[in-house]
């Protein structure tokens, strides 16, 4: 079947790609690669991938591709679902015979609910869907395809058996040739990564049990399954050959540092290639491992600190001690490893005092850049169920405003959602508007004309972000 993989047009500046852990309009315009869409696209011969938001494509822009396809796969998420349903209905209007399938965490945990929203959806693929989509594209009878929920010819919604978890990750082809074929890599950027960058996965799953984290609880699972180092290195070599302009590779595994012997072995191979690379990490990597990584091309770690309060870390099952996180941060600073730190406000146990405690902690560990988010209870997570059971949702369970900005959905008896929302802006201002941090940013700009241009643009976007929040 002629197959289109689609990240649908959405809110202006909305990072809804399957590589984006939490879909929203960000403080600084950022876009992650749609890796979870690119993976099945790499399996389906002759397919095409369209990532509309970063390429500023409207429905009209992609209508020609839609008319020419037999099978259209849309990645969806809880925040974008309503808009994605509208897109599916528009697709049916212009191409009534096309089969439409939805993938993503939203439909993985609530497949039947998707069909109650619209008749435009023909099937959803649950959990890991790579080979599921390939079988459908190859024309297999849907009754014999594991891992889907579908509407049969009688209009009855049928749930097939689950697909087995994929353990041999080397069976998956490289995603970067799909990037080269269908995407403009200059459209993908993040405030803390060199530009242009490329990201892909070396494995799936995360052994941590953080109550708020979406993908391990819905699609990826808690068993960290990895590609062989040889397989990863071959894709890195492909990137070096086909994308000579790339300045950094980001390995998007939930926690690449979960397997210390493997990440050290991988680093040593990357070091032989002279690659600049970054990855997600937990704030507990021992100094000895950090030294190996730094000596072999590691530039930056994206670290989910979440909170500076130990009880909150226990509440969310982070499996991290504050003192360990402080020591880790000190080690990184001494070794010259840059940290982009992420924090979440409004988690269970949050108070006015713990917010200030986290702010003080952030100033102490002093990441180069930070991202401050609001606790987002996505369906399928422990946090979502916890919020429902305790009546923490403020009025409704929406996670975004109508234009894609994150809201504070949780409301505690001792701390209202409005106060939690306002605390994000206060956190950003008090972290960044310090003489030492301002001096650091200015110094970075003075030494690099490219960074000067970039930080000025990001500054404009950041202040616009703050202004929009005040108006929300």
pLDDT digits (tens, 9 = 90+) for 218-267: 988 999 999 999 999 999 999 999 999 999 999 999 999 999 999 999 99
**Would you list the domain boundaries of the chain?**
3-159, 190-433
Higher pLDDT, 14 or 133: 133
Domain 3-159 has CATH 3.40.50: yes
**pLDDT for the residue 228:** 98
Q: Which percentage of the chain shows pLDDT scores above 70?
A: 90
Instruction: Give 380-427 pLDDT, tens digit per residue.
Output: 999 999 999 999 998 665 777 666 677 888 999 999 999 999 999 999
Contact 200, 35 (CB under 8 A): yes
pLDDT exceeds 70 at position 463? no
**pLDDT for the residue 190:** 83
Q: How far apart are CA 423 and CA 205, in angstroms?
A: 32
Instruction: Give 173-215 pLDDT, tens digit per residue.
Output: 999 999 999 999 999 988 889 999 999 999 999 999 999 999 8
Using pLDDT thresholds of 50, 70 and 90, give the confidence band for residue 18: low
Using pLDDT thresholds of 50, 70 and 90, give the confidence band for residue 360: very high
pLDDT exceeds 70 at position 467? no
**pLDDT for the residue 394:** 80
pLDDT exceeds 90 at position 307? yes
Using pLDDT thresholds of 50, 70 and 90, give the confidence band for residue 469: low
> What are the residues whose beta carbons fall under 8 Å from the beta carbon of 149, sequence distance 6 or more?
111, 112, 115, 123, 124, 126, 157, 158, 159, 160
**pLDDT for the residue 450:** 74
**pLDDT for the residue 443:** 82
Q: How far apart are CA 76 and CA 20, in angstroms?
A: 12
Lowest mean pLDDT among 74-78, 285-289, 400-404: 400-404
Q: How far apart are CA 395 and CA 192, in angstroms?
A: 35
Residue 48: its H or E element: strand 48-51
Token pair 């106060």 is found at 419
**pLDDT for the residue 335:** 98
Lowest mean pLDDT among 27-31, 355-359, 463-467: 463-467
Using pLDDT thresholds of 50, 70 and 90, give the confidence band for residue 80: confident
> What are the residues whose beta carbons fall under 8 Å from the beta carbon of 176, sequence distance 6 or more?
198, 200, 235, 238, 239, 242, 243
Lowest mean pLDDT among 27-31, 410-414, 461-465: 461-465
Residue 346: its H or E element: none
Residue 461: its H or E element: helix 449-471
**pLDDT for the residue 406:** 75
Tally Cβ neighbours within 10 Å of residue 238. 14
**pLDDT for the residue 451:** 66
Lowest mean pLDDT among 69-73, 266-270, 420-424, 468-472: 468-472
Q: How far apart are CA 293 and CA 268, in angstroms?
A: 8
Lowest mean pLDDT among 63-77, 141-155, 390-404: 390-404
The CATH class that applies to domain 190-433 reads alpha beta
pLDDT exceeds 90 at position 140? yes
Higher pLDDT, 452 or 152: 152
Higher pLDDT, 453 or 63: 63
**pLDDT for the residue 445:** 79
């Amino acid at each position: 079947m002629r197959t289109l993989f689609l990240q649908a047009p959405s809110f202006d500046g909305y990072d809804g790609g399957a590589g984006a852990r939490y879909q929203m309009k960000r403080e600084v315009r950022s876009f992650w690669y749609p890796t979870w869409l690119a993976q099945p696209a790499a399996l389906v011969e002759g397919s095409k991938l369209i990532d509309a938001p970063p390429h500023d494509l409207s429905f009209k822009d992609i209508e020609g591709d839609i008319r020419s396809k037999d099978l259209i796969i849309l990645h969806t998420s809880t925040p974008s679902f309503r808009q994605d349903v509208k897109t599916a209905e528009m697709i049916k209007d212009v191409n009534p015979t096309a089969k439409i399938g939805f993938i993503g965490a939203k439909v993985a945990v609530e497949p039947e609910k998707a069909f109650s929203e619209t008749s435009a959806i023909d099937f959803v693929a649950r959990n890991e869907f790579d080979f599921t989509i390939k079988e459908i594209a190859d024309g297999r009878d849907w009754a014999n395809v594991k891992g889907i929920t579908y509407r049969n010819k009688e209009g009855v919604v049928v749930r097939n058996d689950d697909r087995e978890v994929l353990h041999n990750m080397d069976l998956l082809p490289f995603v970067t040739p799909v990037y080269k074929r269908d995407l403009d890599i200059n459209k993908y950027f993040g405030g803390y990564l060199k530009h242009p960058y490329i990201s892909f996965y070396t494995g799936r799953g995360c052994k941590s049990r953080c109550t708020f984290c979406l993908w391990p609880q819905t699609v990826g699972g808690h068993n960290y399954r990895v590609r062989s180092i040889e397989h990863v290195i071959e894709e890195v070599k492909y990137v070096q050959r086909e994308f000579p302009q790339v300045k950094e590779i980001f390995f998007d595994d939930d926690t690449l540092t979960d397997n210390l012997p493997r990440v050290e072995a991988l680093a040593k191979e990357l070091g032989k290639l002279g690659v600049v690379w970054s990855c997600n990490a937990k704030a507990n990597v021992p100094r000895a491992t950090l030294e190996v990584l730094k000596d072999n091309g590691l530039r930056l770690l994206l670290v989910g600190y979440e909170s500076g309060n130990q009880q909150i870390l226990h509440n969310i099952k982070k499996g991290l001690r504050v003192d360990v996180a402080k020591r880790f941060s000190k080690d990184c600073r001494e070794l010259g490893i840059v940290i982009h730190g992420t924090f979440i406000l409004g988690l269970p146990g949050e108070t006015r005092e713990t917010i200030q405690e986290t702010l003080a902690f952030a100033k102490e560990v002093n990441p180069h850049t930070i991202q401050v988010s609001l606790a987002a209870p996505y369906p399928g997570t422990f946090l979502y169920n916890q919020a429902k059971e305790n009546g923490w949702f403020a009025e409704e369970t929406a996670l975004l405003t109508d234009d894609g900005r994150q809201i504070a959905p949780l409301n505690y008896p001792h701390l209202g959602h409005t106060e939690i929302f306002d605390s994000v802006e206060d956190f950003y201002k008090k972290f960044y508007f310090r003489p030492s941090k301002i001096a650091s940013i200015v110094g970075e700009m003075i030494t690099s004309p490219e960074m000067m241009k970039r930080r000025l643009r990001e500054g404009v976007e950041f202040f616009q972000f703050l202004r929009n929040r005040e108006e929300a």
